[in-house]
């Protein structure tokens, strides 16, 4: 019995140490949050090459700490280098931004919970916040398979669809038709 308890305690610290969890959460990016009167869609980008097992949005809270969404697990895996949408019903539609999103997944015997923040831009609700209008900056360009394309070689890729990713999270799909 003592051996089993010691093995259990040691494995909790060896299998998923805290520095590993924070390192893995740094590879989880909140791509987009789309809200309607009754639903929320959270788009999570897994920047890692590793898959996320049993991923789900566990909880969404607003600036007041009120719970506006409690998720359930409905997906078995999110592959590395992919963006996945998670759809859930809203518990309440009157909330105050910014939102805090708690994204969970299974890693080596334990659930990892990543805390993600979603900004203060008005998203279609009657809000007293004003939209900040600015030209988004281009962050990177990827092909349809998610491989990064150098900015200098973009003009040489004729008739190849490319996805331009901007710092505000927006994406534009373009096909270069001529040089």
pLDDT in tens, 1-20: 445 444 434 344 444 444 44
In terms of Cα–Cα distance, which of 66, 22, 77, 3 is closest to 44?
Answer: 77
Domains along the sequence of the chain with CATH: 17-118 (2.60.40), 138-175 (no CATH)
Sheet containing 39-46: give its strands across.
Answer: 28-35, 39-46, 83-89
- The label of the residue with tokens 């105050």 reads 96
In terms of Cα–Cα distance, which of 173, 178, 172, 165 is closest to 47?
Answer: 165
pTM of the entire predicted model? 0.55
Length of the chain: 179
Residues 6 or more apart in contact with residue 139 via CB below 8 angstroms:
165, 166, 167
pLDDT of 44-70, one tens digit each?
Answer: 888 887 888 888 899 899 888 889 988
């Amino acid at each position: 019995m003592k051996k089993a308890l010691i093995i259990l305690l040691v494995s909790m610290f060896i299998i998923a140490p805290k520095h590993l969890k924070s390192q893995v959460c740094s590879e989880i990016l909140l791509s987009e949050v789309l809200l309607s009167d009754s639903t929320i869609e959270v788009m999570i980008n897994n920047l890692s090459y590793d898959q996320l097992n049993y991923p789900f949005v566990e909880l969404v809270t607003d600036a007041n700490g009120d719970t506006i969404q409690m998720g359930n697990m409905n997906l078995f895996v999110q592959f590395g280098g992919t963006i996945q949408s998670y759809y859930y019903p809203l518990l309440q539609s009157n909330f105050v931004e910014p939102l805090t999103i708690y994204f969970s997944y299974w890693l080596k015997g334990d659930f990892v919970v990543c805390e993600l923040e979603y900004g203060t831009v008005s998203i279609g609700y009657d809000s007293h916040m004003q939209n900040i209008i600015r030209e988004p900056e281009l962050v990177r360009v990827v092909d349809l398979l998610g491989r990064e394309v150098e900015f200098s070689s973009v003009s040489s890729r004729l008739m190849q669809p490319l996805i331009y990713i901007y710092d505000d999270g927006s994406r534009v799909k373009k096909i270069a038709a001529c040089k």
